[in-house]
Homo-oligomer: A and B are copies of this chain.
């Protein structure tokens, strides 16, 4: 670390293009869990949020269990965890969780009546396709990345668009989540146990081959998003990606959640998680 050498990249603090955003009530609030359900390998968690506004598709919340956060043996989870809103109906917010560690484990074991602590809605949401309105909209979901796609598909359909969702999963055990989707859906599985046998990005290539005047929205694992970025860059197709990075705060306080963009490091909690694919530095995935 040396102040003498100029920074490798631009600071990434220059005001980004403002994305659509609904402001969050200040602070953390307790919300009761009102329903939980298994959706294939995932878990759907519904809470009653009386004090928050309706979020935009693509926005997220920081969640923690009111009890038992702090975990086993003095261990993690300690900080809140970020989750995209999967569906919202009035004061009811739904989240879809994949159990991958102590935080998702604890949240997945919540029962109706228990309290969840929540901050949000946070970040910026998806933007409508740029006018002139394209002939169609392609949504690409990889695994649990389907969560924000569900609510975005709903919103698009409500506004009269006819999105086609390409949903990729590891295997048949995970595909039930596709039933949450409205509109047309094509499924791919890595092991070929359902739908297309292969990557969802192969479906995307085929669709764009067929008609590339469509806006693309994608959420999924980093490798998938990179493939989407590269495909869309090659074809000059407009794409918005919903990124993930480990987050400590979710509201721009810690500078921990950055991704490398062409103009420097960007905090994906305040200047994302939705980001224009063209803004990503090509090396964004390199560590």
Contacts and interface: CB of A to CB of B under 8 A. Distances in A.
Nearest to A75: B70
A112 interface: no
A135 to B, nearest CB: 51
Secondary structure of the A contact surface, majority rule:
loop
A112 B189 CA distance: 42
Nearest to A117: B73
A286 interface: no
Interface in A35-91: 67-76, 78
B70 A73 contact: yes
Contacts of A75: 70
How many copies of this chain does the complex contain? 2
13 contacts: A68-B68, A68-B72, A69-B72, A69-B73, A69-B74, A70-B70, A70-B72, A70-B74, A70-B75, A71-B74, A73-B78, A74-B74, A74-B76
Chain A: number of interface residues, binned into ranges: 10 to 19
A67 B105 CA distance: 12
Nearest to A106: B68
Given A69-B74, A70-B70, 15 more contacts: A67-B72, A68-B68, A68-B72, A69-B72, A69-B73, A70-B71, A70-B72, A70-B73, A70-B74, A70-B75, A71-B74, A73-B78, A74-B74, A74-B76, A74-B78
A239 B68 CA distance: 43
Contacts of A71: 70, 74
Contacts of A67: 72
A251 to B, nearest CB: 19
A70 B69 CA distance: 9
